[in-house]
């Protein structure tokens, strides 16, 4: 009876550890989706629904320039705010690691990059110039922007965790 009980406890501990790891991974993936796809959708919504009535006043190209590179200010601002709010609401350290998968994906893309021209260089420098050109056009926006927004999302969570820009909660005294 004692060996069965000990075996059951060991299996219970293993199951508990697996359950905890799966929960962490699930929450991580939700934060990763919020930091990348969620920011992309929120940026599109803001530009095409909320800010679109301002287009005649400031011009269509000026309005959409806030979402374009190389700085992507609207997307990064939304990502910082989303990371901040998500940490206020849910806590957990998963949001500090959302940048890892986009960084690994970008690193793999850079390593495997081949010049489109036969005469082009395939050095690391030319690959970095291709992925981070500094001026339009941005051929790999779909790879680099998720990294930028996930880093900004993690930064927003760090701002809340550090207390630097903490919102005043009702249970705190001024």
> Is 161 in contact with 94 (CB distance < 8 Å)?
no
pLDDT digits (tens, 9 = 90+) for 97-146: 999 999 999 999 999 988 877 677 778 888 888 888 877 778 888 899 99
- For the chain, domain boundaries: 32-162
Burial of 119 (0-12, 13-18, 19+ CB in 10 A): exposed
- In the predicted structure, residue 172 carries a pLDDT above the cut 60: no
Residue 114 tokens read as 């081949």
Does residue 173 surpass a pLDDT of 50? no
pLDDT tens digits for 64-90?
Answer: 888 887 789 999 999 999 999 998 888
Counting residues of the chain whose pLDDT is more than 90, the rounded percentage is 40
Q: Which residue's structure tokens are 């021209």?
A: 117
Tokens of 99: 């940048």
pLDDT tens digits along 4-41: 776 766 667 777 888 888 999 999 999 999 999 999 99
* Radius of gyration over every alpha carbon of the chain, rounded to an integer in angstroms: 22
Decide: 44 and 72 in contact? Cβ < 8 Å. no
């Amino acid at each position: 009876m004692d060996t069965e009980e000990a075996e059951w406890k060991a299996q219970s501990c293993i199951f508990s550890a697996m359950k905890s790891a799966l929960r962490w991974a699930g929450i991580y993936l939700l934060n990763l989706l919020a930091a990348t796809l969620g920011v992309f959708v929120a940026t599109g919504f803001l530009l095409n629904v909320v800010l679109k009535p301002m287009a005649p006043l400031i011009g269509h190209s000026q309005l959409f320039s806030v979402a374009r590179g190389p700085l992507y200010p609207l997307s990064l601002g939304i990502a910082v705010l989303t990371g901040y709010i998500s940490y206020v609401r849910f806590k957990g350290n998963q949001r500090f690691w959302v940048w890892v998968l986009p960084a690994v994906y970008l690193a793999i893309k850079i390593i495997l990059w081949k010049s489109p021209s036969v005469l082009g260089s395939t050095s690391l420098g030319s690959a970095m110039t291709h992925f981070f050109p500094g001026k339009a056009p941005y051929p790999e926006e779909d790879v680099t922007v998720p990294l930028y927004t996930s880093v900004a999302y993690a930064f927003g969570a760090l701002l809340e965790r550090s207390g630097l820009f903490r919102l005043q909660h009702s249970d705190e005294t001024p």
